[in-house]
Amino acid sequence: MIYAVLFWEYLKNYAKTKLTYRADFWIEVISDLLFQGMNLIFILIVFQHTASLGGWSEAEVVFVYGFFMVPSGIFGAIFNIWNFGERYIVKGELDRVLTRPAHSLFQVLLENLDPPSLIGSMVGGVIMIICWSQLGIPFELLDLPMLLLFIAGAVLVYAGIYTALSAISFYSDAPTGIMPLIYNIQNYGRYPVNIYNKVIRFLLTWLVPFAFVGVIPASYFLEKKADDLSKLALLTPVMGIIFFTIGILLWNNGVKKYRGAGS
């Protein structure tokens, strides 16, 4: 209950700030939409030169991209911790956070909320609905709860990976440069994994499982039988819990080792 109250208070403070600088808010929203639009245009251009991609039609790949946008937007709104190492470790702001009783990660997340990212999730939802209609996929009663379950699992996969990467800052003073690398890798998860070689497929499925934030859970609704993707989709919440648990454990252990900005 206390955490819910804290979340609401931080959200109100965010709203007050953005109402003061409304132009910044809309610039951020438009920039995000343009970025997502360029990615979608790229997919459409690819299909101007081929009828299918690894056995996937244009509508199916766009559907996967729409699904990919939903958990990506939710994650971006809540887990906006790209600059954790520089701001909280190098500049010492974590010292302030650790003087408060709430969990340190929760406080860091609240201080970096980015609600405009949810616009991308809404657009992704619209893309899915359009493609769902174009593909003539029957909508069953179980589809909605499964969709929500897969989205939650995908968000947890994101959260676990990036929490673990942020926690590296506790163990290393030097910039690792790994965050931008992983960010680029995650974009591969919005395409069918069977178009990649076995090494990349294994990487995206089991080591940094970004396939579970896009193509694998989306395949459940498309009923893609290739490589049993639709069966793997049921592992999405499991992978989310596993990787988020790993991320939290690394974070908590890192906090125990942290000795202040001068350490």
Taking a C-beta distance cutoff of 8 angstroms, is the pair 157, 216 a contact? no
Straight-line distance from the first to the last Cα atom of the chain, in angstroms, rounded to the nearest whole number? 35
Angstrom distance (rounded) from CA 170 to CA 181: 19
pTM: 0.91
Question: Per residue in 134-143, pLDDT tens?
Answer: 999 888 889 9
Question: CA 161, 167, 168: angle at the middle one, nearest 5?
Answer: 100
Identify residue 35 by its one-letter amino acid code. F
**Residue 146 pLDDT exceeds 70:** yes
Residues 6+ apart with CB under 8 A from 195: 53, 54
pLDDT one-digit tens code per residue, 103-132: 999 999 999 998 888 999 999 999 999 999
Give the pLDDT confidence of 152-168 residue by residue, as tens digits: 999 999 999 999 999 99
Res. 78 pLDDT band, cuts 50 70 90: very high
Q: What is the CA radius of gyration of the chain?
A: 19
CA distance linking residue 141 with residue 139, whole number of Å: 7
Tell me, rounded to whole angstroms, the distance of Cα 61 from its chain centroid: 18
User: What is the per-residue pLDDT for 130?
Assistant: 95
Q: Is the pLDDT of residue 1 over 80?
A: no
Res. 262: pLDDT tops 80:
no
For residue 176, the model assigns a pLDDT of 56
